[in-house]
Structure 1
């Protein structure tokens, strides 16, 4: 088992999150007894180290920034939302967010708080009057969130702002950010148990994936590449994730590893030279003209010579990124990848059934079929070329 999937890592992350969320009243959840039951408050430390006093528990919230509303759905707090950013109100030709498949109609009818990616309109938020504003961003990107930005929004609205980094599953530091964000949000909402349940589910799922393939020697590891990865929009075959977590979890050898930890555009010539045994395509690429990466594999002579193309080992994965990371889809993709590469290690797994189990846990409904239909039913299947 890798360090990030170990019990020690999970314990350390949870302890860190609890310390960050602890308030000034001794245990972080103690109410201000000078307040009435209707207006009691707690003081917490958010994911950016800011001290914030909030109603406990709040009866109305808004979520600002990529993925923030997704976390609220994970914690089963969607009925508290009283306003949304503009991406939740748009009619998407393809809906790449499982949480929006379930709750999109509910969110679409809510008042507007500003533009997507955290471009808030303080006057609109004031007019709605939520008791708490949650605000998130992605570390190391153009859409990160700083303490000063959170302070400024709080000053303009007079409403408590609880901020945290969205995190990721790519490395220990970003995983700790993710777990801290979930724990802080859970503390604010009075849903600490659900936050711990979500963190434990993620850890147990990753551990299961890792344990199934842990003893595969380097010589037996399949070579893989994922192309067409969505990143602030749809992209073609050269768009990849050098640290794509599911490859790591199932001990597959990512031929693009070493090109960073977030996103990379590789030279087509490099892909041809690497010649991975298996190609996986993020189906967000289908939103490009000509079918994106799939169209390229069909029409580009050099790409057509890849072993995976010639031998029919090109497979579709449901989109990894759509308004930040769909973690439930990342985990589900891991089981399909594992089953495809090492079927004997996953003989008890039906990837579609497993995906629906995961979707139900995170967003409340088994949405694989509906989600996959948006991508021409190419998910978890060989792509005919």
Structure 2
């Protein structure tokens, strides 16, 4: 039987195809960042995305937007409308993806999520924790949920989250490259600082969304606080703020930070708030920085006296793109150690290599740099 070589080759080819299809349709077990074992068919083709849209799109690559059948986009569109517009211009289908609501304001809809019939739901860790009472409904419907976490701003979780996104989208090599590049940048920062053996400079970071008149969130162990550790800073808020919250002005003045970073978005509700990002000019950023420098008592702070007051883009936090911000912070803290590092180039290169848009604006600026423009 099948003595003819061509017939035998055709049979072998058919058997190989059947074997490949069986493997492709067989569930694969993955482990998410919470250590949960999740079984799903890979790559996922009908995805609901809870958070981190840029990281997802960067890892998934071409066609990634086409796989989205639902997303929680309110926070992104509200805080970064200009960036969202750039994405929609390049990927018009994003505007048609159903918005499933926001976990932050308790408008996220389990019913709407079930209705779009996803084969995978990707949630941020904080979303998973907030939705915990409702998540059994996904399990009952046979919909797997995996958890990623860029909010913690740690090297380990950034890499694990990126590799997991690569696994579920079938872009493992792309994700590995991205994670390796991130690790190399962080290792450069931490190794140089360790070799220098200096006293960590005191640093304070605040989200300047309320303007100079009111102190807004600063950060303890999460987000900017974790980034400050990677950048070799002594976070003056750490003794007073656990995760995030305001620091009393008197405590800040007594802490005498040597470097201050004011974080902001493009979209602000106050004419004095820290405005940074897409389409925002350096002149606007400088004017807002000068407003914070004039806060009562700040003229006595070493950071203000030495011109070490900086604006940074909050939109690039909670993302593997924060490598650029960590470089910028490290350079602000240790300018002589990082003269060869160009944080803005790092930020722009990430978009050039991994994303379809090319942001233009002011994403990081020192008060002295602004005065020179």
TM-score (norm 1): 0.70
* Residues 212/180 of structure 1: CA separation in 2 closer, same or farther (3 Å cut): closer
Q: How many residues align?
A: 329
Q: Tell me the residue number matched to 1:350.
A: 342
* Residues 160/307 of structure 1: CA separation in 2 closer, same or farther (3 Å cut): same
Specify which of 119, 139, 146 is matched with residue 163 of structure 1.
Answer: 146
Instruction: Provide the rounded CA distance (Å) in 2 between the counterparts of 1:89 and 1:274.
Output: 34
Cα distance, 1:270 vs. partner? 0.8
Q: Tell me the residue number matched to 2:283.
A: none
Instruction: Provide the rounded CA distance (Å) in 2 between the counterparts of 1:45 and 1:149.
Output: 22
Structure 2 counterparts to residues 169-208 of structure 1, below 5 A = 169-171=152-154, 176-208=156-188
SS at match of 1:44: strand
CA deviations over 1:279-336 (Å, ceiling 9, x no partner): 11112397242423657635532234323224432111111577xx1331x2111222
Q: Tell me the residue number matched to 2:122.
A: 135
* Residues 186/149 of structure 1: CA separation in 2 closer, same or farther (3 Å cut): farther
Cα distance, 1:365 vs. partner? 4.4
Cα distance, 1:39 vs. partner? 7.4
Specify which of 54, 57, 76 is matched with residue 73 of structure 1.
Answer: 57
SS at match of 1:315: strand
Cα distance, 1:269 vs. partner? 0.3
State yes or no: 1:250 paired with 2:228: no
Instruction: Provide the rounded CA distance (Å) in 2 between the counterparts of 1:265 and 1:364.
Output: 37
Q: Tell me the residue number matched to 1:152.
A: 137
SS at match of 2:337: helix
SS at match of 1:291: coil
Q: Tell me the residue number matched to 1:7.
A: none
In structure 1, runs of 5+ residues without a counterpart are: 1-30
CA deviations over 1:109-136 (Å, ceiling 9, x no partner): 2242520238543443454333x23231
Specify which of 117, 122, 141 is matched with residue 103 of structure 2.
Answer: 117
* Residues 186/289 of structure 1: CA separation in 2 closer, same or farther (3 Å cut): same
Instruction: Provide the rounded CA distance (Å) in 1 between the counterparts of 2:352 and 2:172.
Output: 20
* Residues 278/180 of structure 1: CA separation in 2 closer, same or farther (3 Å cut): closer
CA deviations over 1:244-270 (Å, ceiling 9, x no partner): 234323323222233455213211001
SS at match of 2:365: coil
Q: Indicate conservation of the 8 Å contact 1:227/1:238, yes or no.
A: yes
State yes or no: 1:216 paired with 2:214: no
Cα distance, 1:60 vs. partner? 2.7
SS at match of 1:56: coil
Q: Indicate conservation of the 8 Å contact 1:102/1:363, yes or no.
A: no
Instruction: Provide the rounded CA distance (Å) in 2 between the counterparts of 1:54 and 1:358.
Output: 30
Instruction: Provide the rounded CA distance (Å) in 2 between the counterparts of 1:253 and 1:123.
Output: 45
Q: Tell me the residue number matched to 1:9.
A: none
Instruction: Provide the rounded CA distance (Å) in 2 between the counterparts of 1:162 and 1:202.
Output: 26
Instruction: Provide the rounded CA distance (Å) in 2 between the counterparts of 1:353 and 1:235.
Output: 33
Q: Tell me the residue number matched to 2:217.
A: 239
Q: Indicate conservation of the 8 Å contact 1:210/1:251, yes or no.
A: yes
* Residues 151/363 of structure 1: CA separation in 2 closer, same or farther (3 Å cut): farther
* Residues 214/66 of structure 1: CA separation in 2 closer, same or farther (3 Å cut): same
Q: Indicate conservation of the 8 Å contact 2:51/2:72, yes or no.
A: no
Q: Indicate conservation of the 8 Å contact 2:209/2:273, yes or no.
A: no
State yes or no: 1:382 paired with 2:362: no
Larger radius of gyration between Structure 1 and Structure 2: 2
Cα distance, 1:51 vs. partner? 5.2
